[in-house]
Amino acid sequence: MLRFITLRLLQAIPVILVVITVTFFLVRIAPGGPFDSEKPVTREVKAALEAQYKLDLPLFQQYTSYLGDLAQGDLGPSFKYPGRSVNELIAAGFPVTAELGFYALLVAVGIGGLAGVIAALKPNTAQDYIPMSLAMIGICMPSFLLGPLLVLVFGIHLDWLPVSGWGDIPGDKILPSITLGAGYAAYIARLGRAGMLEVLSQDYIRTARAKGLPEWQVVLKHSLRGGLIPVVAFLGPAFAGLLAGSFVVETIFQIPGLGRFYVQAAFNRDYTMILGTTVFLSVLIVLFNLLSDVLAAWMNPRLRAQFGH
């Protein structure tokens, strides 16, 4: 197992390097410098600014210097918020996004996984059709549509729940978490159902029944593990999707998280912020992918043995 993790970590390094490099040069070749727009600045001021942000150096030196800073965990200063570093902005926004993502993941895995398992136990009955129809709606109802609709119904029409903010009023975390998690709950429900159906049709399930085990033991002890491996393997991609989804959800619900900062930075052409956030999120996604892969492999004794020694 340790070898497997080490191997995957080593493979992750080039991926992260590629991300950093591509992002860096993409941002640098973007048309127009960060200080071109809005109010014109004098040549001297611009030169001073460029010196401050090391834009006067040759491109390759900028790159190596950025890598050097990065190695020390320094993502550099923000272009648009003078005096504030990208590190500070991320430190301010990320905890909120992480919390939102965590709740959304709970919604996705909890509700989705349960629905999938329940549907698979009695395929082609109401117990299957109802959760699966809901899942289909969840898949076809993107967060940027579901969010406003939820706000319209529960926030405005019924006036049950607050429609914006994060941690300001009790209950204001409910709608954003559901909005972000619903689509993934739907996906996980379908994945879980397929996985469980596959396992339940295996010969060893018949063996378990022939032993006289009651159905709940057959499901819990013999089916769940194999059936949910695809769900666990999906958690990595789901995490990446949740982060991207947070861009939208944080915008809809006016949540001061990293996603909203990122979108704002994109509009403001705050290049260091974009660069820093991209690198930060990429590393996070790569690590989470690794984690879910390791977890899925660990759940399978055959793979576990293969990488164990």
Partner 1 sequence: MALLDVQDLAVSFVTRNGTNKAVDGVSFSVELGKITAIIGESGSGKSVACYSLLGLVPMPPGRIDGGRALFEGRDLLQLEESELRKIRGRDIAMIFQDPMTCLNPYMTIGKQLMEPLVYHHHVKKEQARARALELLAEVGIRDPESTIDDFPHQFSGGMRQRVMIAMALINEPKLLIADEPTTALDVTIQAQILKLIAELQEKRDIGVIFISHDLAVVADIADQIVVMKQGQIVETGNRESIFHNAQHPYTKKLLAAIPTDSKQARGGVAEPLIQVRDLCTWFSQDKGKEPVKAVNKVSFDINRGEVLGLVGESGSGKSTIGRSILRLVPVTSGEVLFDGTDLTALEGRDLKAMRRRMQMIFQDPFASLNPRMTVYDTLAEPLLLHGIENRATVGKGVLKLMDDVGLARAFVRKYPHEFSGGQRQRIAIGRALATRPEFIVADEPVSALDVTIQAQILDLMQQLGREYGLTMLFVSHDLAVVRHLADRILVLYKGEVVEQGSGDDLFEHPQQPYTRQLLTSIPGRSLLA
Partner 2 sequence: MNTQTINDIAQAEQGTSLWKDAWLRLRKNHLAVFGLVTLVLFIVIALLTPWIAPYSYQAQNLELGASPPSAAHWLGTDIFGRDLMTQIMYGGRISLAVGFVATTVALLIGVTWGAVAGYVGGRADAVMMRLVDILYALPFMIFIVLLTVVFGRNMLLLFLAIGAVEWLTMARIMRGQVQSLRQQEFVEAAISLGLSPATLIRRHLVPNALGPIIVYTTLTIPNVMLLEAFLSFLGLGIQPPQTSWGLLISYGAETMEEYPWLLIFPGLALTLTLFSLNFLGDGLRDALDVRGAKD
| Site of interaction with partner 1 (CB under 8 A) | 202-204, 206-214, 217, 221-222, 225-226, 299-302, 305
CB of 222 to partner 1, least distance (A): 5
CB of 214 to partner 1, least distance (A): 6
CB of 211 to partner 2, least distance (A): 28
CB of 165 to partner 1, least distance (A): 45
- Residue 126 engages partner 2 in binding (rule: CB under 8 A): no
- Per partner kind, with CB cut-offs from 5 to 8 A, the member of partner 1, partner 2, none near residue 252 is partner 2
C-alpha neighbours within 13 Å on the C-beta side of residue 151:
17
Q: Which is nearer to partner 2, 70 or 240 (CB)?
A: 240
- Residue 252 engages partner 2 in binding (rule: CB under 8 A): yes
- Residue 156 engages partner 2 in binding (rule: CB under 8 A): yes
| Torsion-angle region of 230 (φ positive above 0: left; ψ -120 to 50: alpha; else: beta) | alpha
- Per partner kind, with CB cut-offs from 5 to 8 A, the member of partner 1, partner 2, none near residue 70 is none
CB of 294 to partner 1, least distance (A): 17
Q: Which is nearer to partner 1, 40 or 214 (CB)?
A: 214
CB of 302 to partner 2, least distance (A): 19
- Residue 7 engages partner 2 in binding (rule: CB under 8 A): no
- Per partner kind, with CB cut-offs from 5 to 8 A, the member of partner 2, partner 1, none near residue 285 is partner 2
The DSSP-derived string for the chain is -HHHHHHHHHHHHHHHHHHHHHHHHHHHHSSS-TTSSSS---HHHHHHHHHHTTTTS-HHHHHHHHHHHHHTT---B-SSSTT-BHHHHHHHHHHHHHHHHHHHHHHIIIIIHHHHHHHHHSTTSHHHHHHHHHHHHHHHS-HHHHHHHHIIIIIIIS--S--S-SSSSTTTTHHHHHHHHHHHHHHHHHHHHHHHHHHHTSHHHHHHHHTT--HHHIIIIIIHHHHHHHHHHHHHHHHHHHHHHHHHHHHHTT--SHHHHHHHHHHHT-HHHHHHHHHHHHHHHHHHHHHHHHHHHHHSHHHHHHHH-
Subset of residues 132 to 151 that bind partner 2, contact rule: CB under 8 A: 136, 139-142, 144-145, 147-149, 151
Contacts with partner 2 by CB under 8 A: the residue count is 45
- Gap between the Cα atoms of 72 and 97, Å rounded: 24
The residues that touch partner 2, with contacts defined as CB under 8 A, are 12, 14-15, 18-19, 22-23, 26-27, 29-31, 136, 139-142, 144-145, 147-149, 151-152, 156, 240-241, 243-244, 247-248, 251-252, 262-263, 266-267, 269, 274, 278, 281-282, 285-286, 289
